[in-house]
Amino acid sequence: MSPREPIVAGNWKMNMTWASAVRLAQTVSDYCEGSYANMEIVMCPPFTCLKGVQNVLDFDRSDILLGAQNVHEEMPDGTAACTGEISVEMLKDLDCSFTIIGHSERRAANGETDELVNQKAKLLLDRGITPIICVGESAEVNDRGESIKFVTSQVDAALDGLLPEQVASLVIAYEPIWAIGTGNIPSPEGADTVCGAIRNQIMQKFGHQAAQSVRILYGGSVKPENAKYFFSMDNIDGGLIGGASLDAKKFVEIVRICYDLKCR
Ligand code: 13P
């Protein structure tokens, strides 16, 4: 048994119409029904499909949890003059339990900084939504042998000013940029070393309890064929799954592998 509750989360990215999202959520819910106690399964559809997926999960009384892929960094102040943005209150309203923040795609394409990720983490924690904070290095940083230095500094910045109990409750996803959507994966031992360094960094800054409780996921080309290698590592508490989460069979197979390795 893992000392922490494992998580497998699907990041659907900018995929799915309402109808296809509802179908996917329904199929995943049917496959998972009652089978996976002591772990958390999360689906993170795009904003436009959150309500549709929530309806499915509600109707099925499913244990699967809902997550968003982003949130605006400000609390609505009464005027909410932020055209095109989605607030933390809107996510609460749809029963989102998790929100992905700082995904490398948003850092690259939307200029999201470590400071912004920190602001979003604080806002989510204040409102009772668990942040899934993404960190990960580029191929160049990896080639220079500086992955740990880079990733731990991202973690430091994202967690700046948080209380140890807040850190204990959140989720970090280590996603090397060069592994996302490419089919290239780090060795499981390599990924575990980086996740272990993140945990160690948290121990230094926030203490033993926070380090032992924080959940650290691996993400980047996780498939049913390679999931067991990552999930058998001690510092990896589950996965953040992109492409394979769009296929109900593959996603649930990854869930099952995680369950078998961490919950039995
Ligand atoms: P892939 O699983 O498609 O590589 O995506 C990983 C990811 O970015 C999840 O957030």
Report the separation in Å between the CA atom of 139 and the middle of ligand 1, taken as the mean of its atom positions.
15
Contacts of 192 (CB under 8 A, 6+ apart): 233, 234, 235, 236
Average pLDDT over residues 1-7: 90
Residue 17, pLDDT score: 98
Please identify which residue in the block is written with the tokens 């993404």: 134
Share of the chain above pLDDT 90, in %: 94
Catalytic residues: 103, 175
Q: Is the CB–ligand 1 distance for residue 56 below 6 Å?
A: no
Q: Is the CB–ligand 1 distance for residue 183 below 6 Å?
A: no
CB atoms within 10 A of CB 150: 18
For residue range 95-152, list pLDDT tens digits in order: 999 999 999 999 999 999 999 999 999 999 999 999 999 999 999 999 999 999 999 9
Q: What is the CATH number of domain 7-73+83-262?
A: 3.20.20.70
CB 5 within 8 A of CB 39: yes
Report the separation in Å between the CA atom of 178 and the middle of ligand 1, taken as the mean of its atom positions.
10
Atom of ligand 1 lying closest to residue 104 CA: 8
**Interior CA angle at 245 toward 185 and 178, to 5°?**
25
Average pLDDT over residues 202-218: 98
pTM over 0.95: yes
For residue range 45-86, list pLDDT tens digits in order: 999 999 999 999 999 999 999 999 999 998 766 567 889 999
Domain boundaries, the chain: 7-73+83-262
